[in-house]
Amino acid sequence: MSESPLLMLVPSDVLRFDLPLGGGGGGGGGPVTAALTLRNPSLTRRVAFKVKTTAPSSYTVRPSQGFLAPGEAAAVEVALQKGADGRRITPSALAAAPVSPPADWRRHKFKALSQYSSRLHIY
């Protein structure tokens, strides 16, 4: 009998960033992001999580760690920070001039670590 995973990820294999290459991108100055949903499939146990990347200078992850109650889900935002030329990637920067993703972006990985968490009371 196989155990169910401690954490379910959506999407489970590939994060997709919508880069409006070629100018005319939307207005705001915020980062270009991809959404990741973490879900605790357990009905009885709390799960602690931490999301890591092999390229921390190219991405930020918010929240990067936390706890999920039984059955709870959390939305995690992964923001692309810099392009191949080192410029910050924002919609307004993309509107001014096309930016390429980081040169080695195909090698970048994300890892979600998880473990069951007991309730800890500190007095």
Examine residue 3 and state whether it is found in any structural domain, yes or no: no
Whether the Cβ atoms of residue 59 and residue 36 lie closer than 8 Å to each other: no
Query: Which pLDDT belongs to residue 89?
Result: 57
pLDDT digits (tens, 9 = 90+) for 23-81: 444 445 567 788 999 999 999 999 999 999 988 888 889 999 999 999 999 999 998 87
Query: Which pLDDT belongs to residue 29?
Result: 55
1-10, 19-28, 71-80, 114-123: range with highest mean pLDDT: 71-80
Domain that holds residue 14: 8-111
Structural domains of the chain, count: 1
Examine residue 39 and state whether it is found in any structural domain, yes or no: yes
Question: Based on the number of CB atoms within 10 Å of its own CB, is 76 exposed (0-12), middle (13-18) or buried (19 or more)?
Answer: buried
Query: Which pLDDT belongs to residue 4?
Result: 76
Q: Is the pLDDT of residue 91 over 70?
A: no
**3-state class of 115 per DSSP?**
strand
Examine residue 116 and state whether it is found in any structural domain, yes or no: no
Query: Which pLDDT belongs to residue 23?
Result: 45
- Please state the pTM of the whole predicted model: 0.73
Whether the Cβ atoms of residue 80 and residue 17 lie closer than 8 Å to each other: yes
Examine residue 44 and state whether it is found in any structural domain, yes or no: yes
Write the CATH number for 70: 2.60.40.10
Looking up tokens 């959506």, which residue turns up?
A: 10
Examine residue 42 and state whether it is found in any structural domain, yes or no: yes
Alpha carbon distance 119, 55 (integer Å): 32
What percentage of the chain carries pLDDT values higher than 70?
63
Examine residue 87 and state whether it is found in any structural domain, yes or no: yes
**3-state class of 102 per DSSP?**
coil
Residues 29, 51, 48: CA angle, nearest 5 degrees: 125
Query: Which pLDDT belongs to residue 27?
Result: 46
Residue 56: partners with Cβ closer than 8 Å, 6 or more residues away: none
